């Protein structure tokens, strides 16, 4: 009986033979592949053949007729050598300053002028321009010996605004305690009083700093930040904010507008 008389059986036999042949071919290539790789590497090391390669590819390309390329797959992590490393700030202090300028489209369209705003809310301490002031006051106090990290010093300030937030944040970051006085608030309730009174919240903070230093219970000191009188206040903007704005605008500035708190920005 001929297989041609039974087409169904013939087709089944062909499929079975093809499947078995495919399995054998796969197994044979699996055993042959490492040997091919070793032979190419040996030829490359002995200089008996010319193989083109590059430093970023795992392809080996033999140069010459009838020599197909052999691709060696590399599953290792791709190198990022050569790419610039991103800047990583040192501590929260490194996140203060160099805030961007952005265009306020509505005001620019309404006035026909280019109105830019300085994104001081991106400062990393308390999210305000006072971060610059607080950091500069602390750094100047450290340079002059009034504050020393690790000594147990406390920073005292009388404030009703963002300076207290910035001082408290940065004091913690640099190893100090912070003591904030403000009128009729939850930190320390102080009855409103004129600035000449010793019970005014600013004068109270000043007195507490002196009492701390004079207590002699340990080697720590009390430091009165004194934002309203401190040179570090306006210098923070004179040294950073002003130059930043000038550089970001290329010096093309017709007018400068700022809100007045302790008026330190008026010196920019």
User: Does some domain include residue 145?
Assistant: yes
Query: What's residue 159's pLDDT?
Result: 87
- The answer to whether 231 and 136 are in contact (CB under 8 A) is no
Handedness of CA 234, 154, 211, 151 (dihedral sign): negative
User: Does some domain include residue 139?
Assistant: yes
CA 151/CA 142 separation, integer angstroms: 12
Q: What is the radius of gyration, based on Cα positions, of the chain?
A: 37
**Mean pLDDT of all residues belonging to the chain:** 80
Based on the fold, state whether residues 47 and 99 are members of the same structural domain: no
CATH number of domain containing 115: 3.40.50.1100
Predicted confidence (pLDDT) at residue 187 exceeds the cutoff of 60:
no
Parent domain of 132? 92-249
Please compute the mean of the pLDDT values over residues 173-197 and round it to a whole number: 74
More confident residue, 131 or 260: 131
Percent with pLDDT over 70 in the chain: 69
Question: pLDDT band at residue 49, thresholds of 50, 70 and 90?
Answer: very low
Question: pLDDT band at residue 259, thresholds of 50, 70 and 90?
Answer: confident
| Calculated CA dihedral for residues 179, 185, 191, 196, nearest 10 degrees | 50
Based on the fold, state whether residues 8 and 130 are members of the same structural domain: no
Structural domain count of the chain: 2
More confident residue, 89 or 21: 89
């Amino acid at each position: 009986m001929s297989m041609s008389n039974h087409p169904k059986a013939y087709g089944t036999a062909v499929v079975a033979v093809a499947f078995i042949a495919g399995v054998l071919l796969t197994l044979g290539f699996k055993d042959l592949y490492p040997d091919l790789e070793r032979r190419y590497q040996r030829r490359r090391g002995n200089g008996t053949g010319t193989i083109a390669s590059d430093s970023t590819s795992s392809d080996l390309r033999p140069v010459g007729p009838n020599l197909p390329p052999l691709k060696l797959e590399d599953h290792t992590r791709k190198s990022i050598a050569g790419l610039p490393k991103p800047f990583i700030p040192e501590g929260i202090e490194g996140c203060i300053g160099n805030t961007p300028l952005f265009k306020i489209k509505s005001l620019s369209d309404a006035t026909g002028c280019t109105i830019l705003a300085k994104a001081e809310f991106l400062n990393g301490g308390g999210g305000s321009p006072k971060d610059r002031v607080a950091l500069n006051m602390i750094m100047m106090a450290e340079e002059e010996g009034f504050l020393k990290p690790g000594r147990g010093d406390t920073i005292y300030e009388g404030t009703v605004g963002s300076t207290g937030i910035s001082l408290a944040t940065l004091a913690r970051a640099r190893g100090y305690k912070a003591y904030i006085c403000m009128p009729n608030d939850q930190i320390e309730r102080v009855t409103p009083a004129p600035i000449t009174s010793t019970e005014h919240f600013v004068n109270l903070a000043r007195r507490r700093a002196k009492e701390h230093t004079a207590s002699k219970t340990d080697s720590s000191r009390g430091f009165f930040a004194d934002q309203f009188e401190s040179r570090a206040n306006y210098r923070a903007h004179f040294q950073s904010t002003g130059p930043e704005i000038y550089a970001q605008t290329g010096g093309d500035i017709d007018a400068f507008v700022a809100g007045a708190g302790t008026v330190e920005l008026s010196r920019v």
